[in-house]
Amino acid sequence: MTQQAFAIAIDGPVASGKGTIAKLLAEKLHGFHMNTGAMYRALTLYCLENNIDLHNSHAVIAALSSLTFSLDNGVYMNAKEVTEEIKKREVTQAVPIVAAIAGVREKMVKRQRAIGLEKIAQGEIVLVDARDAATKIFPDAALKIFLTASLEVRARRRFAQVKSGESYEQILEDTEKRDYQDTHRVSVPLVSDPQKHGYLVIDNSSLSEDDTIALILKKIEEIYDRD
């Protein structure tokens, strides 16, 4: 198996369970959960806090150049922990604007691949939790998973997670809006035909977390057996 074979790409729309599944798999496999959304969120938080116009791509890209990120035991931006702050509704709503900037994506993908390769070099299996893990960050991943679920199931899950007092209807609307933004942006949209891109598509609308994990572990075992 090549070094890159240790990356497992997990892509999918908002609230498809990617984060939870990637985290649980990382625990089971003693691997590294690379939460790429956290990096886009941290950059967005920085822009909001520093009054940087999100529609000014030059300013956002310049801001990114001044930032460092660490995803070890929490999310750190310039060594300051932002794990909880980046989950705020203002950040969640604004992050697709930042993530749509081509120059931002280009730099993020490079940094994410570098972080992943460093972990792989240290002997870790890297669970890349993203929307472009298999298409951009690790096209050479050993396994490419596209995790999805119906819009309603995803909104219900977010409703149960988010403790900001938002109604289910608000969350459903936000989720639909984010789906639209993520699949229609000009720069690296979330794929709408994952099978064609070589993904194993898992619709987990009616699967438990344990079922989903078991399915993915079985696939990983098949890959290891084959090599």
> Of 42, 52, 113, which is closest to residue 81 (Cα–Cα)?
42
**Of 34-42, 48-56, 70-78, 192-200, which segment contacts ligand C5P by CB under 6 A?**
34-42
By the rule CB under 6 A, 85 interacts with ligand C5P: no
Nearer to ligand C5P by Cβ, of 37 and 194: the residue is: 37
User: Out of 12, 17, 96, 116, which residue is the one contacting ligand C5P (CB under 6 A)?
Assistant: 96
Radius of gyration (C-alpha) of the chain in whole angstroms: 17
Strand, coil or helix: 170:
helix
* Alpha helix ranges (H) inside the chain: 18-29, 36-49, 57-65, 89-99, 102-121, 151-161, 168-184, 209-226
Check: CB of residue 22 under 8 Å from CB of residue 127: yes
User: Out of 9, 16, 22, 41, which residue is the one contacting ligand C5P (CB under 6 A)?
Assistant: 41
Which residues, numbered 137-176, are part of the site for ligand C5P (CB under 6 A)?
Answer: none
By the rule CB under 6 A, 194 interacts with ligand C5P: no
Nearer to ligand C5P by Cβ, of 41 and 144: the residue is: 41
Distance CA 190, CA 130 (A): 10
By the rule CB under 6 A, 99 interacts with ligand C5P: yes
Nearer to ligand C5P by Cβ, of 172 and 222: the residue is: 172
**Of 73-81, 92-100, 116-124, 142-150, which segment contacts ligand C5P by CB under 6 A?**
92-100
Q: Which two tokens stand for residue 179?
A: 């789906």
Distance CA 84, CA 65 (A): 23
The dihedrals phi and psi of 125, each to the nearest 5 degrees, come to -85, 130
User: Out of 119, 131, 144, 154, which residue is the one contacting ligand C5P (CB under 6 A)?
Assistant: 131
Q: Which two tokens stand for residue 82?
A: 């932002």
Chain positions contacting ligand C5P, by CB under 6 A: 14, 36-37, 40-41, 95-96, 99, 130-132, 178, 182
